[in-house]
Homo-oligomer: A and B are copies of this chain.
Amino acid sequence: RIFHHSSTMAKSKFEYVRLFETEDRCLPNAWIVVRVDGKGFHKFSTEHDYEKPNDLRALSLMNNAAMSVMEEFKDICLAYGQSDEYSFVFRKETQVYSRRSAKLSTNVCSLFTSAFVYYWSEHFPTSKPLYPPVFDGRTVLYPSNQNIRDYLSWRQADCHINNLYNTTFWALILKAGLTPVEAEQKLKGTLSGDKNEILFSQFSINYNKEPEMLRKGTTLVRRKVPIALPDGGTREKSQIVQLHTDIIGDEFWNENNHLLTIS
C-alpha cells in the first residue's frame, strides 16, 4: 500500500475472491530454510565475463546481497552461500510472517535479488548488468538439528565437489590449452584424488592451498563484538561476520552451539 486506508473505506462485492488464497503456515518447531538460486546463471556468468573458475567480484556481490537479507530478517541465524546460491536458516521458533511459506520465500528472494542489482556497481564498477538477473526461491523444513546440519553439509559438499571439478576443468583449458570438450572428456569418471593429482602434477596447484572462500563457500553468522565507548569502556553489539570454514564437522557447531539451542 502506498496510501493509508480509512477503516470505513468502501468494500466491493468482488472481495469474496480473497477467500481463494490458501494458508501455508510452516509446521511449528521446525527449522525453516529459504534457498535462493540464480536462474540461468551459467549463461549469465558467461555473458557478464565472470572469471573462471571463480569470479571474486561475483562472490562478494552474492555475500553483499545475503548480508542485506540477514540484516533485515533478525530471525535468520545463519546463512550459507556458494556459487550462485544462498541458503538462509531461520530460527526454529521464528514467528516472522506467521511462518507463512510463500511470504518467507518471496520476501527473501525479492530482497536478495534487489540487493544484487542495487550493489552490482560496487563489485562490477565498470559495467551495468545486460538485463535484470533473476533468482528463484524455495522454503524447506527440517525437523531436527541433525537434519539442518545435514542440509548445510549437503550444500558445502556440493561446493567442494563443484569447485574441485571446476578448478581442474579450467586449468586444463586455460593453462593446458584443452578445449572444453577435451577437458570434460579427460575428467570423466575421475575421483577427487585423480583431480588433486592432475592439479598438482600438471599445474603445481595444491588444491588444499586454494582460498578457503572458494573451497568452503561463505557462512554468515551473528557475533557479539565489542564496541569502544567514548568513556573508554566497551559495549557488545551483534554483528554479522563472514566465515569461510568447514561446517560439516563438529568443530564449527561446538564453537557455535548457541545456533542449535533454543534461544
Using a CB–CB cutoff of 8 Å, the interface residues on chain A facing chain B are 1-6, 8-10, 12, 14-23, 25, 27-30, 36, 38-39, 41-42, 45, 50, 53, 68, 83-84, 101-103, 105-107, 109-119, 129, 131-144, 147, 150-151, 153-154, 157-158, 161-162, 165-166, 169, 184, 187-189, 191-192
Of the A-B pairs whose beta carbons lie under 8 Å apart in the complex, a sample of 24, sorted by A's number, is A2-B42, A3-B166, A9-B161, A9-B162, A12-B158, A16-B150, A17-B142, A17-B150, A20-B29, A20-B141, A20-B151, A21-B138, A22-B27, A22-B140, A29-B143, A68-B132, A102-B138, A102-B139, A105-B105, A106-B136, A110-B137, A111-B134, A114-B117, A117-B117
How many copies are assembled? 4
Q: Which of B2, B8, B153 contacts A83 (CB 8 A)?
A: B2
Set of chain B residues within 8 Å of A134, measured between Cβ atoms = 107, 110-111, 114
- C-alpha gap A42/B100 in the complex (Å): 23
Closest to A27 in B: B141
- The reply to whether B140 and A118 contact each other, CB–CB distance below 8 Å, is no
Chain B: minimal CB distance from A183 (Å)? 11
- The reply to whether B132 and A2 contact each other, CB–CB distance below 8 Å, is no
Chain B: minimal CB distance from A177 (Å)? 19
Chain B: minimal CB distance from A157 (Å)? 4
Set of chain B residues within 8 Å of A111, measured between Cβ atoms = 132, 134
